[in-house]
């Protein structure tokens, strides 16, 4: 099959979604599909997989251009859809999103949380749950764990909601031996911090954190970095990759933790991305 993975949105979003785009590209190529990647460009005579569907649905001219083109597309929904809005965004264009879903060939998502809402709009036959998993392309040659650690732990991602207070607590505890890489930093500098940190972090951001982000977890664990987390909700079972605690306990456990590389590798590779994607492809 001819497939084109389309990232929608600003150029900076491409980097933020690269942990999704490139493993998806590599896995679909290995399955045997003729796969390409584009940014804000729909390919003719291909099944276009949209990443960032919430962006296009709020732009009527762009949405209508896609719908009127007659090109085939499917939606990879990696955001939180509660049936009313994406990521609890105010003034979200629900009507545009519903139209985009209804006109698509199908939609797939790595989150069980999204399934009832998507099925309510599209019907169960057009929605697939594709759990995220390991692919060898996730191993990053920029991450080198062979040297000494400079940081007890590091976090990369958006600093929002309850994460702000957690970051402050970690700074007080570890000082300059705590690494923080947020949306203001160059994207790939995270790989230096992960190389030099004893453990990585996956931090919940509060009551609206309805599932665990597996893309962050696999980027770390596929490259030998043990992960500490404090999530409460995980219907998908992604926390099997982590050492999960209540936040205060997690902070106290970091210094005494002894990582086991063999166990981490086995856990990471226990879910196969190619196998899970075959449900749709």
pLDDT for 259 equals 87
CB-based contact 238:228 (threshold 8 Å)? no
- Cα–Cα distance measured from residue 234 to residue 153, given in angstroms and rounded to the nearest whole number: 23
**Tens digits of pLDDT across the chain (281 residues):** 999 999 999 898 999 999 999 999 999 999 999 999 999 999 999 999 999 999 998 889 999 999 999 999 999 999 999 999 999 999 999 999 999 999 999 999 999 999 999 999 999 999 999 999 999 999 999 999 999 999 999 999 999 999 999 999 999 999 999 999 999 999 999 999 999 999 999 999 999 999 999 999 999 999 999 999 999 999 999 999 999 999 999 999 999 999 888 899 999 999 999 999 999 99
Q: What is the DSSP letter of 124?
A: G
pLDDT for 58 equals 85
Q: Which domains does the chain have, with CATH numbers?
A: 2-130 (3.40.50), 140-268 (3.40.50)
CB-based contact 16:181 (threshold 8 Å)? no
b (16+ CB within 10 A) / e for 78-92: bbbbeeebbeeeeeb
What pTM, to 2 d.p., does this model score? 0.96
- Cα–Cα distance measured from residue 143 to residue 96, given in angstroms and rounded to the nearest whole number: 41
pLDDT for 181 equals 97
């Amino acid at each position: 099959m001819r497939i084109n993975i389309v990232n929608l949105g600003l150029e900076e979003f491409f980097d933020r979604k690269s942990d999704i785009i490139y493993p998806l590209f590599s896995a679909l190529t290995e399955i045997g599909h003729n796969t390409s990647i584009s940014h804000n460009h729909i390919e003719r005579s291909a099944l276009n997989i949209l990443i960032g569907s919430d962006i296009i649905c709020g732009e009527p001219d762009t949405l209508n251009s896609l719908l009127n083109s007659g090109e085939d597309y499917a939606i990879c929904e990696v955001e939180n859809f509660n049936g009313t809005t994406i990521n609890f965004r105010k003034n979200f264009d629900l009507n545009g999103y519903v139209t985009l879903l209804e006109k698509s060939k199908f939609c797939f998502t790595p989150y069980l949380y999204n399934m009832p809402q998507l099925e309510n709009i599209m019907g169960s036959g057009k929605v697939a749950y594709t759990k995220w998993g390991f692919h060898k392309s996730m191993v990053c040659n920029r991450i080198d764990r062979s040297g000494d650690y400079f940081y007890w732990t590091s976090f990369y991602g958006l600093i929002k909601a309850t994460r702000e207070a957690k970051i402050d607590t970690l700074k007080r505890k570890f000082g300059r031996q705590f690494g923080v890489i947020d949306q203001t930093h160059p994207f790939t500098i995270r790989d230096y911090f992960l190389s030099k940190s004893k453990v990585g972090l996956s931090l919940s951001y509060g009551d609206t954190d309805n599932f665990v982000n597996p893309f962050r977890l696999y980027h770390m664990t596929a490259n030998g970095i043990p992960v500490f987390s404090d999530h409460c909700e995980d219907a998908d079972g992604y926390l099997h990759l982590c050492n999960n605690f209540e936040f205060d306990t997690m902070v106290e456990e970091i210094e005494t933790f002894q990582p086991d590389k063999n166990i981490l590798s086995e856990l990471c590779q226990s879910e196969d991305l190619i196998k899970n994607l075959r449900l749709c492809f």
